[in-house]
Structure 1
Amino acid sequence: MSRIVIIGGGPAGYEAALVAAQLDADVTIVEAEGAGGACVLSDCVPSKTFIASSQVVTGYRDSEEFGVDSEGMEGVTVDARAVHERVKRLALAQSSDIHNKLIKAGVTMVAGTARLGENTLGHTHRVLVAPADGGEEYSIAADTVLIATGATPRVLPTAVPDGERILTWRQVYDLPMLPKHLIVIGSGVTGAEFASSYLAMGIEVTLVSSRERVMPHEDADAAMAIERVFRSRGMRILNNSRASAVRRTEKGVEVELADGSTVAGSHALMAVGSVPNTTGLGLAEYGVEVKPGGYVAVDRVSRTNVPGIYAAGDCTGVLPLASVAAMQGRIAMWHTLGEAVAPLRLRTVAANVFTDPELATVGVSQDEVNSGRAQARVVMLPLDGNARAKMDGLADGFIKLFCRPLSGQVIGGVVVAPKASELILPITLAVENHMTVDQLAHTITIYPSLSGSITEAARQLMLHELE
């Protein structure tokens, strides 16, 4: 029986464990925080639960247009303690569900931290475990070790979080009250999501963006559309502004920008990226290659340069998505246990930004088309012409579809809409299964529905092909 030790119980670790257990391996997970790791307990699950509360508030916006007198946003109050308690309760419930699922599958769960020990003859790896209860360190022998330790919020030396006024995204749920004026530093995915959700809750928000637009790595049309929505709802966005320091003041915080100007607020949320949790794992001593920034170097089947040592998830820097982490972990187990496995394909991975509206993407990007790195025909179809969008009062958003110039094969798409995370699936299926715009166009959709705009975009591309 193969012996597998997994360091880290997040999506990469627990999904890998379930696969390995299903293939009759002896599996042990070493995790300090609890099943699901930081993703479930302090990152992805809590943030999306928090966003869900903001979406309830959003439902009261412009309700008079629908003939419903709800006194508007002025009549809505948000109980921070209740919101935060729900966030934590659901995170713990999800962690418990994962824990029970792992135990039922036969996985051994160890509370603690671990590092690589000695590489013995026959490539049996020794993993040194430090129990969370402070007990004596001991070792576990493994045929395969999967490093799945994730990442943690980046801390700037001039803006050290204190958990009270200067915060990481893991600390906001401990606030007794919602901020009066939140300054979000960093306009990437995390910064945009929190800025959007706090704005929806009626909080004054200033977003400090070091680039010309928010979410600079996303589709430009989509990011600019969402930025327009942010501004129209009252968010102050400081483009081309870099925060050089954050200081506590008597009443809140002061953010100093690189040009010497300052912005005052009640709280500051630091959303300036993450760093991999790879220190203290004994990687260098073991000979495991580590890339600049501390990320573990892996190939497309999650192997490191040391036989029997695999890595998956945010600690690899491949793509910081829970879905990708989970697939990396599964691929690692299928590979080490001799199952047929296809290498990781990022081209068909869908990603979503949980702003309001959401932004979802898959496959080829507009930037690749504009630069000539990809050849494609493109259609962008605004949602304001969609019947269901009109009924729901949706004026913002669009569907964008990319296809190969000659064959019409669907190679990418962008959706800006409520629940874009759901609407991107048909496009993802088309990309994954090499479907053409003709096939997509001939698919009958519900009327009225937002998904109808996907097939309409395909029909427009099909018509272009016939011209």
Structure 2
Amino acid sequence: MAKYDCDLFVLGAGSGGVRAARLAAMSGAKVLVAEEHRVGGTCVIRGCVPKKFMVYASEFAHHFKMAEGYGWTVGESRFDWPGFIAEKDKEIARLSGIYVRNLQNAGAELVHGKARLVDAHTVEVEGHGTVTADKILVAVGARPWMPAELPGVEHAISSNEAFHLPELPKRIVIAGGGYIALEFAGIFNGLGVDTTLVHRGPNVLRGFDDDVRAHISDEMEKRGIKVILATQHAAIEKTATGFVSRFTNGHHCESDVVMFALGREPYVEGLGLEAAGVKLAENGAVVVDDYSRTNVENIWAVGDVTNRINLTPVAIREGHAFADTVFNDRPTKFDHEMVASAVFSQPPIGSVGLSEADARHKLGKVDIYLARFRPMKYAFTSSAERSLVKLVVEAATEKVVGCHVVGPDSPEIIQLAAVAMKMGVTKSQWDSTCAVHPTLAEELVTLREKYTPQGLGQAA
């Protein structure tokens, strides 16, 4: 008689949990997966995928303007928000169904309901009773953080609700300066919404390269987004015509919708982790080692709940490494170095490696190569938009340690830059690559003159 009901119990059917569950089940293990919402997790249901559809939809207005410069006569255009939302939801349902089928085809059993640990080997699933498990994987992701003490916060929405607004607002205020805030600012602005972005910091995208941060802020304003820095909400008041956002600098702004994108926090509430003895960090993240194992011997965690690098492909690779280590006898660590990221702002950003500031702090002397230019795509238009490419190179070794691109197709470009940098490419090797002309990407391999930031002089 088996000691436990299953070999592996997975909390969460998002990208990381599903990958781990499938591989474990395919190894012959008996696997149960519990999901309290729809299968697919943040990325498929309320994140990357629907957001990218919204970005695509919002870019057409910009394309229509550009088309006129190329000789096209563009007639009256009208955007059907309810029609778009219906098509988006249809595709999300299809993708969620694929996740379900993949789990079932692998031999894993799916249970709908919130799971809570009773102890290190016992899980209670709401509406389904308790299950015992030899091993447990926590893959529940993260949730939007909302400032609970802010007066009027109940009038605001998070990014979750932004995917399901019953109608497109005429005016929106978005609080935040991270990638989610920037992406939704571009989306709503592109769809014709009067958009204001409010961020408490001195510039947007904390953690990114400073030249990228300044550049994207300027480019967003050129697109018509009002960017207000160094202030935050003091209160939100409901009025007969919408909402009034009152800021700490004494100013205010009226809108139809107020959206908070102030970051995300690990979703550990109500999971019973303390009952199992699982250690949490101060920010609520599950603490794990290089193999995603917690302090409890039979419990692991992957994805955003661990707050390492909160990206879908990272969660998938962590889940894969867990399954290889625990069920396929192939101890595997996922290497979190040189992970590329994209911000689907308008214009978009691609980034991999160190920012200039981080490189100077960690490596000492670095060489900077930077260019700003007008994209060829805008040659026949009145657009003042400019692109940016930047390389950060460790001076002593010539190793390329940072690559940052802002402009058309930059998320596509950065993927292959990441391949070269993961292999340790040097600047001379980078330069030996022949350019593909005419492209924006060729600017990366034609950067020859070192760039000296203002104020640093030759000693930099």
TM over 0.5: yes
**Cα 1:375–1:303, aligned 2, differ >3 Å: closer, same or farther?**
farther
Q: Does residue 1:297 correspond to 2:301, yes or no? A: no
Counterpart contact for 2:145–2:263, Cα < 8 Å? yes
State the 1:60 CA deviation.
0.9
Q: Which residue pairs with 1:464 in the alignment?
A: none
Q: Which residue pairs with 1:336 in the alignment?
A: 326
Q: Does residue 1:347 correspond to 2:337, yes or no? A: yes
- Aligned counterpart for 2:67 among listed residues 63, 82, 92: 63
Counterpart contact for 1:128–1:137, Cα < 8 Å? yes
Q: Does residue 1:138 correspond to 2:138, yes or no? A: no
Q: Secondary structure at the match of 1:352?
A: strand
State the 1:87 CA deviation.
2.2
- Aligned counterpart for 2:141 among listed residues 150, 170, 174: 150
Q: TM-score, normalised by structure 2?
A: 0.90
State the 1:159 CA deviation.
5.7
State the 1:127 CA deviation.
2.0
- Aligned counterpart for 1:46 among listed residues 31, 50, 57: 50
**Distance in structure 2 (CA, Å) of the matches to 1:455 and 1:390:** 22
Q: Does residue 1:418 correspond to 2:408, yes or no? A: yes
State the 1:357 CA deviation.
0.9
**Distance in structure 2 (CA, Å) of the matches to 1:159 and 1:19:** 47
Counterpart contact for 1:357–1:416, Cα < 8 Å? yes
**Cα 1:449–1:218, aligned 2, differ >3 Å: closer, same or farther?**
same
State the 1:444 CA deviation.
3.3
- What amino acid is aligned across from residue 162 of structure 2 in structure 1? V
**Distance in structure 2 (CA, Å) of the matches to 1:96 and 1:187:** 34
**Distance in structure 2 (CA, Å) of the matches to 1:324 and 1:278:** 19
**Distance in structure 1 (CA, Å) of the matches to 2:99 and 2:61:** 30
**Distance in structure 2 (CA, Å) of the matches to 1:296 and 1:53:** 37
Q: Which residue pairs with 1:84 in the alignment?
A: 85
Query: Aligned runs of 1:113-132 on 2, under 5 Å?
Result: 113-119=114-120, 125-130=121-126
Counterpart contact for 2:10–2:32, Cα < 8 Å? yes
Q: Which residue pairs with 2:38 in the alignment?
A: 34
Q: Does residue 1:18 correspond to 2:55, yes or no? A: no
Q: Does residue 1:198 correspond to 2:188, yes or no? A: yes
**Distance in structure 2 (CA, Å) of the matches to 1:143 and 1:418:** 49
Q: Secondary structure at the match of 2:197?
A: strand
**Distance in structure 1 (CA, Å) of the matches to 2:133 and 2:365:** 47
State the 1:184 CA deviation.
0.5
Counterpart contact for 2:50–2:88, Cα < 8 Å? yes
**Distance in structure 2 (CA, Å) of the matches to 1:184 and 1:64:** 31
Q: Does residue 1:308 correspond to 2:309, yes or no? A: no
Identity rate, percent: 26
**Cα 1:104–1:389, aligned 2, differ >3 Å: closer, same or farther?**
farther
**Cα 1:411–1:24, aligned 2, differ >3 Å: closer, same or farther?**
farther
**Distance in structure 1 (CA, Å) of the matches to 2:309 and 2:318:** 10
**Distance in structure 2 (CA, Å) of the matches to 1:387 and 1:80:** 32
Report the aligned-residue RMSD.
2.3
Q: Which residue pairs with 2:97 in the alignment?
A: 96
Q: Which residue pairs with 2:455 in the alignment?
A: none
**Distance in structure 1 (CA, Å) of the matches to 2:283 and 2:92:** 29
State the 1:41 CA deviation.
1.1
Question: Residues 292-321 of structure 1: CA distance to partner in whole angstroms, max 9, x if unpaired?
Answer: 122111122111100010011111111221
State the 1:396 CA deviation.
1.6
Q: Secondary structure at the match of 2:64?
A: coil
Counterpart contact for 1:243–1:255, Cα < 8 Å? yes
Counterpart contact for 1:181–1:205, Cα < 8 Å? yes
- Number of residue-to-residue matches in the alignment: 444
Q: Does residue 1:430 correspond to 2:420, yes or no? A: yes
- What amino acid is aligned across from residue 438 of structure 1 in structure 2? S
- What amino acid is aligned across from residue 145 of structure 1 in structure 2? I
**Distance in structure 2 (CA, Å) of the matches to 1:420 and 1:235:** 21
**Distance in structure 2 (CA, Å) of the matches to 1:340 and 1:376:** 38
State the 1:445 CA deviation.
4.1
Gaps of 5+ in 1: 120-124, 462-467
Counterpart contact for 2:215–2:388, Cα < 8 Å? no
Q: Secondary structure at the match of 2:9?
A: strand
Q: TM-score, normalised by structure 1?
A: 0.89
State the 1:195 CA deviation.
0.5
State the 1:390 CA deviation.
4.8
**Cα 1:382–1:98, aligned 2, differ >3 Å: closer, same or farther?**
same
Question: Residues 224-263 of structure 1: CA distance to partner in whole angstroms, max 9, x if unpaired?
Answer: 1111112122221111011122222111111111233321
- What amino acid is aligned across from residue 106 of structure 1 in structure 2? G
Q: Secondary structure at the match of 2:113?
A: strand
State the 1:424 CA deviation.
0.2
Counterpart contact for 1:7–1:29, Cα < 8 Å? yes
- Aligned counterpart for 1:269 among listed residues 256, 259, 269: 259
Question: Residues 302-344 of structure 1: CA distance to partner in whole angstroms, max 9, x if unpaired?
Answer: 1110001001111111122112222222222222235434433
